[in-house]
Every structure is written in C-alpha cells, then in structure tokens.
Amino acid sequence: MIYVWIRGLIARSPLRITGATTGIALAFALLASLGLFLASSSLSMTSRAVSGVPIDWQVEMVPTADARTVKEAIRKSALISALHQVDYAAIDGFVAQTGGTTQTTGPGKVIAFDAGYAAAFPQELRLLAGTLDGPLVAQQTAANLHVSPGDTVTIRRPGLDAVNVVVAGVVDLPDADSLFQAVGLPRQAAPQAPPDNVLILPASDWARLFSPQEKVRPDSIRHQFHVRLERKQLPADPTQAYQFVTGAVHNLEARVAGQALVGDNLGARLDAVRGDALYARVLFLFLGIPGIALAAIMTMTVTSTNADRRRRERALLRVRGASLGQVVRAAGAEAVLCAIAGIALGLGVTAAFAMARGAGTFAPDWLTLALSCGLALVLAFAAILLPAIRETRELTVMAARGFVPKTRPPLWERTYADLALLVLSGLFFWQVASTGYQIVLAPEGVAATAVDYKAFISPALFWIGSMLLAFRVARLIVDRGRKAIGKAVRPFSGSLAPAIAASLAHQSRRLAFGVAMLSLAVSFAVSTSIFNTTYNAQARVDAELTNGADVTVFGTTNTPAGDHLKALAKLPGVVAAVPMQHRFAYVGADLQDLFGIDPTTIGEATHLSDAYFSGATAAQALKALHTTPDGVLVSQETVSDFQLTQGDTINLRLMNAADHQYHRVPFHFVGVAREFPTAPKDSFLVANSTYIAKITGNSAQEYVLMKSSGDPAVVARSAGKLLAGTPALKVKDIGEATRIIGSNLAAVDLHGLTRIELTFAAIMAAAASGLLLLLGLFERRRAFAVLNVIGTRPGQLAAFIWSEGLLVLAGGLFFGAGAGLATAWMLVKLLTGVFDPPPESLVWPVGYLAIIIAFVVASSAIALAITSRTAAGPSAGLLRDT
C-alpha cells in the first residue's frame, strides 16, 4: 500500500512533493553551508592568527643560567622550528659628530643576533640604507644622531670606556615592541615602550665589546633565546591552540625553573584571538540561526498550504478501510520521501555553493552534515507526519473529511503575546545595552572563555514579536478596513470591489499569515544586509585608520615621501594625494608620535570619522586646528595624564633641524583626538604642518596619503614601481592593512558568512513571496474555477488574484523593512564592542536591497500572472472533484 501511495503522490501531486522538498532542501543547504563555512573558517583561524607573530617565545636567562641546559629544555617542551640567541646590553647613550655638530642621546641598547637569525625571523629587521654586514643603527636613532652609513657612533658603556663603531646600515625594527619587551612581567603590567636608541652589532663584535661590561655590570646584560614553534602541531581551534601553547610554556617553565623566564608571545596572540573565535560563533548565532529558523518556518508553511488536502486524503484512506497505523505509515513514507529528496537537493545546492564561493572542493564536515540531515528529517516529520498522528488521535473520520474552520483567535493573539514580547525585548535590550557589557568574555591569561548569551534574548524576542505584530496589524487592517480596501481596489475591479473586499476580509487570517511570512523573510534580508554592510564599512574604516588612507607611502624625516608628492598624485587611479608629517615630540618625559597636517586638505585623501574625536565632530576639530596655527590635538590618555583643559598651553620638545637637539615649543591644546590615521592607539599628537615646519626648521613631509578611485592594490603597485629606487619608502594599501588587523573582529572572515547569508536571504524572500503565493493560490484553484464558470472575465479574475497578492506584497515589504531596520540597529548596538571605531550610523546596502525588492516583486508578479492565467483557463473539471 505504501508503494502505491507514494507512486500516486509522485504522479498526481508533484507540486506538493516539490514544495515540501524545496523547503527542506533550503533549510538543509543553509545550515550545511553555514556549518561548513564555520568549520573551514575555524580550521584556518589559528594559522591566520599566528602568522603575524614574529617570535613565538622569548626565553630570557638569569645571569647564572647554563645556556645549553636552557636550550635543551626548550627543545623538549615542544616541537621547535627555530631557536636563536639574542644578546642585549644596556648602555648610557650614543654620541655622534656630524656636520659640525655633536648629537648625544639618552640611554639605549646595543643588541646582537646570532648567525641565521635574520633568516629565521625575517620580520625583525628591515634594511633602509647601507648594508646588513656590520653595525646597524635603528631608524629613529639614526634620526636622533643624524648619522648615515659610514658615520661613526660612540657607545657610552656603563662602567667602561666609550667605544666607536662605524655604521654599516640603517634599519627599521618593525617588531621593536616585542623585541625589547621586558620578559617576566605580569600580564597586567603596563606595556614597556621600546628604547628610543638602538644599535645592532654582529655577534662577535658584541661579545668583544660587552663581555667586559657583563663582568662589571652584569645587571646591564641580558641573553634571550628567540623561539619559533613548529606550527603544524598547533590545534586548528584558537582556544585549543591557546591551551596547547600555555601547557607547553608551563612545561618549559617547570624545566627551567630558576634559570630562565619565558615571554609567551604566541600564547598572548592566541589569547587575544580566542575572542575572535567566539565572535565567529556569536555572528553565526546572530546571523545564521534566524535564517535557519526562517527556512524551517517556510518549509512548514509550504507544507501547510495543502494541509487540508492531505487531511482529506488521509480521511479517505480511513473511510476505505485503512487502519490508523497504515495511515500514519503512509504519511511517514511521504515525510521520508520529502526528507530524502530534500537532503539530496540540499547537498547539491551546498556543494554548488561551496564551489561558487571559491572553496575549491566540497570538504564535508560530518557533524554539520549530520545536524543538517537531522534538521531535514525533523522538518519533514513535523510538517507531514505529526499532523497525521494528531488527526488519528483527535479527529473522527467525518470531522477529518470536512473543513475545519478556525473561528477563535489563537492564544497568543488573545493574550497580546506579540506586544508583551516586544516590550520584553525592549527591556532586555535596554538592560544589556545600557551597562557597557562585553558580549564575548575571554579574559587575558584565563583559559576559560564565555559568551554572554543573554544578549541573544532581546533580538530573538523582537524577531518573534515583530512577526506576530505584523500578523495582528495586517489582520486588523484587512478585517476592519473593508470599506477602505473596497475603495482602493475599485479602480481596477469596478463593481467587484465589494466582493473583493469581502473576500479579503474573510481570508484575513490567511492573508495576515502571508504578510507575516513575507515580512519575516524581508526583515531577515534587510537586517542581515544592513548589519553586514555596516560591519564591512566599519572594517574598512578600521583598515583605513591603520593604513592612513587607501594607499599610504611611509617615509622618514631623512627620506620623506612628500618629496615624491607630485609624481604620486599623477599616478593612474589616484584621486587625491595629501602629504602628512610624522615626527616625534616629548610630552614631559614621554616620547609621542606627532602628526603634522593641513586641516583643510587632509580630508581629501582620508576619511576622518566623527568617532575619531571627543567632544567635537571631525569638522569642528579640524576647524579648531586650522584657526589656531599653534594648536594641537591631544590623545585622551595625555589629557588625563597631564590634567589638561582646552586652551592650555602645552610645551612639547621637538627636534630642530639646525642643531639636531630637542627644543621646547609651546602649543595650544584645542581638542581631543581618540584615533587618527596611522596613529598608534595609546598616545599621539596632531598639529598644523606649517607650524611644525616653521619651528623645527624642517618642512619634510614624511608620509603621503592617497585616495584611489579603483583597486588600491593596483595604485600601491604603481607607487611601489615609482619609488623602487628609494627602499626607505614603504608603500602599503588598505587591503594589506585589513589582512594585518587581527586583534579585533576583522580576523573573523565575515565575507564568506555574508555571501551565504545574503544569497539565502534573497532566495527566501523570493520564495516567501512567489512560492508561497503560488502554492496558496494553487490550493485555491477550485475557488477560482467557481468564479470562472459563473462568468468572471479574465480581467475580473485577475482583480481578485492580484488584490490578494498586492496586499501581501505591500504588507510584507512594509513590515519587513521596518522590522529589518530595527533588528539591524539592535544587532549593531549589541555588537558595538566589536566595531573599532564604533559606527556613526547604519550603512544601507542600496544595491542589495533594490535587488531584494526586485526579487520579491518579480517572484510575486510571476506567481500572480501564472495563477491568473491558469484560473482563466478551462476549469469545469475542477468542480467535479469532491
């Protein structure tokens, strides 16, 4: 019997099977695609996160330690791919005589790398001028001493005579923070600034000059082992990788107890990235779960469009003598058929989607696939089998054969649960958003992590509440607005207007359900796309903030990028090129980055967000600077440290070009800058470049910021070629900055998630409008046949059908857009902590939203046109069916 039943279903009700199968396939494919994305993203998260860590461990020996023993212990604690020694000597200062002047610096460091270090840790040293063979002087030190290759530098050793070395090259130490970090300090200690003055000697020279110093001043000498772990041994998940590395460090600490201290840069990095992994999960939940829920609801809805027919068919089986068990088995067989077909189709969609998004191959994640299959089966059974089981328990055969009108409003409607949910959502949102909470808790140094799942309550309640409210309002409008609807449809329905209005009113519940479903799908598309666009825009702002502009040329005072401004401005694709000074200035004893800008032109090349400034908009802050030639914008940290109030005079010390000495220069404090392009996070200064040039006697513009009209990478390549002869100039584009930013949410590859979300959102919006409309109208084809046989003209029939469709379309778009916008706002507010800097406003994906509206309108129009055409055709045969 089951075989005959299934064969009959396939032959006689293909649309019904297709509808249920499509819904199941959609839910399966969305869950599978998201799950596979998350799994593959997690797999690469550790390797992506640690790729930027130059030195995994810095193991510093105590003066009495045996280097060989420590080395052995390191090799035993984990698989090691590189292990090299670095020696540090603290010195009293450097002296250089150039151009008839003598420059003297404060205390500094002289360091040495052993053989092979540069190859093992290439990120530590970048040659700017001269050669790597011989004594090297750091860029800032070279600027302070005003030396270049070939000049002599005197090293003032504590407790010993000064010695001279001849500079072979000038280098940049990109990783100076880590290289000079104080190993063994507690994690909560304030970060140690790298020394301002650094000289690097070959290992043999260092040993010759500083072995004597180690004897007289052992406290001034440090020896470290720099270690790189074999990365293959790290687990893919950052949390597990963190636990692995921390365990290895503990093991090493136990082995070298009393002999060495361990600086765990790799662990610190993984510690920070654990939060990102959790954010990935949070985003998956925030953005993915509503989509899966929507797909599930759509499947149930598609199936319920012909629930009456299924019920009557089952009743007929019972009348013909089928037992309850046989009826349930028949429904179960149909559910299994739809589930298997849905899984097969969903697998195909998932694989195609994985290929299309560039995954290359379709790598199955068994847990994801198992969960997706489970979802498909649950949906099929809930939609098809469950009603059959319920009927056999609750309805007599005759009751099942007839119509089951629902006259009483559902419980939620009678108890105003929709309004209650919205109020609760608002209360939760207020409670969460007003307390400056952290949605992801991954405290530094603590292995345990946590996600504040309470934050999900608010959007979840809002989502359900807004859908139910859309239902209630749509029903009330259709129910109570009969006259108004009659007037609205009269222009195209003529004397049929009252009948159409009455018909709509009678179907208010069905139509309101359609409005709620469409609004749900549209709100999902709108909220997801607005959140994603806002996120992407903010990630770009973050990258631009780090890089300075689309493309930035970084130079030095000795080799300023501003010298090439005209040539750079003429490169193809460059919309604007603006120079910017980058100097250093002492605020008290604190050496800070000083940026010299022209406030009237800086905005041409880079975006200055209002969020970068405190107490003023970007325009107001720049205006204050422009109107105060000796004005300075100061970071919040400096304002707090020095108890500054607006209008105060601040005396900074800047290096003068004439004598290469730092001199006191008065500035007026005109505003607070939280962030500034290329500026470090903690403390910096922004002033007028003309004033800086005047008081330092040096008009050099170290940086050039460029805005591009096309791909910044192309402009960066052109600039690189142009400046190939000046290696001291470094060109970076915004894409590179995006890849480098890893300490915040940008480490989560949202693009893949976005693409999956937005594609499925579009499909579901189109399905919610077109497919549901088509199925709903198809189920009512008998009613349209009635109209047809009593003489309804095709135009009049179309008026009936289109008025229903347009009502659902207008209501769905209206409520969906409103709810989507509110949800996006809520998501951005709840996830504000992950935006850096926080967004000023939501960003509308106009193009995508236009496509969604076009999809929805087109699919509705197609469904309505098909129905109108079918309904106007021969239909007497339909009225013979009982």
Site string for other proteins, 481-520 (x = CB under 8 A): -------------xxx-xx--xxx-xx-------------
Measured between its terminal Cα atoms, the distance across the chain in Å is 23
- Chain mean position to CA 560: 35
Q: Which of 75, 390, 793, 869 binds other proteins (CB under 8 A)?
A: 793
- Nearest approach, Cβ of residue 312 and other proteins (Å): 13
Residue closer to other proteins, measured from CB, 669 or 800:
800
CA distances from 809 to 483, 629, 774 (A): 20, 59, 13
Which strand (E) or helix (H) includes residue 227?
Answer: strand 221-229
Q: How far is the CB of 786 from other proteins (least distance, A)?
A: 5
Q: Which of 390, 506 has the CB closer to other proteins?
A: 506
* Interaction between residue 3 and other proteins (CB under 8 A): no
Go through 543-564 and write b for each residue having 16 or more CB atoms within 10 A of its CB, e for each that does not. bbbbbbbbbbbbbbbbbbbbbb
- 405 lines the binding site for other proteins (CB under 8 A): yes
Q: Which of 570, 786, 590 is nearest to 680 (CA)?
A: 590
- Helix/strand/coil for 704: strand
- Closest to other proteins by CB, 321 vs 791, is 791
724/812 Cα distance (integer angstroms): 58
Specify burial of residue 443 (Cβ count, 10 A radius: 0-12, 13-18, 19+): middle
The CB-of-818 to other proteins minimum distance in angstroms stands at: 28
Nearer to other proteins, 111 or 787 (CB): 787
Among 41, 523, 678, 796, the residue binding other proteins under the rule CB under 8 A is: 796
Q: SS3 for 634?
A: strand
Q: State yes or no: residue 879 binds other proteins (CB under 8 A).
A: yes
Of 542, 543, 535, give the one whose Cα is nearest residue 712: 543
Q: Does 4 bind other proteins (CB under 8 A)?
A: no
Query: In this chain, which of 783, 821, 851, 857 binds other proteins, going by CB under 8 A?
Result: 783
Alpha helices in 13-56 (DSSP H): 14-50
Least distance between other proteins and beta carbon 769 (Å)? 21
DSSP H helices, 381-507, are 386-394, 397-401, 411-414, 417-433, 457-480, 482-493, 497-506
x-marked contacts with other proteins along 164-203 as a string, rule CB under 8 A: ----------------------------------------
- Please list every residue from 22 through 81 that binds other proteins, using CB under 8 A: none
Instruction: Give residue 479's Cα distance to chain centre.
Output: 44
Between 207 and 789, name the residue whose CB sits nearer to other proteins. Answer: 789
Among 207, 789, 810, 854, contact with other proteins (rule: CB under 8 A)? 789
Nearest residue (CB) to other proteins, 457 versus 786: 786
The CB-side HSE value for 208 (13 A sphere, CA atoms) comes to 8
The size of the interface with other proteins (CB under 8 A), counted in residues, is 30
CB 393 to other proteins: min, Å: 23
Q: Which of residues 313 and 733 has its CB atom nearest to other proteins in the complex?
A: 313
Q: Which is nearer to other proteins, 89 or 773 (CB)?
A: 773
Give the phi and the psi of residue 237 in degrees, each rounded to 5.
-80, 130
Check binding of 403 to other proteins (CB under 8 A): yes
- Contact mark string toward other proteins, 753..782, x via CB under 8 A: ---------------------------x--
- Of 150 and 791, which has the nearer Cβ to other proteins? 791
- Distance of alpha carbon 74 from alpha carbon 249, whole angstroms: 9
DSSP 306: T
Please state the length of the chain: 882
Min dist CB 876 to other proteins, Å, is 4
The yes or no reply on residue 786 touching other proteins (CB under 8 A) is: yes
Instruction: Kindly tell me which of 215 and 506 has the beta carbon lying closer to other proteins.
Output: 506
For other proteins, the closer CB: 258 or 791? 791
CA distances from 730 to 126, 141, 254, 715 (A): 11, 19, 43, 13
The residues binding other proteins (CB under 8 A) are 11, 403, 405, 494-496, 498-499, 502-504, 506-507, 780, 783, 786-787, 789-793, 796, 874-876, 879-882
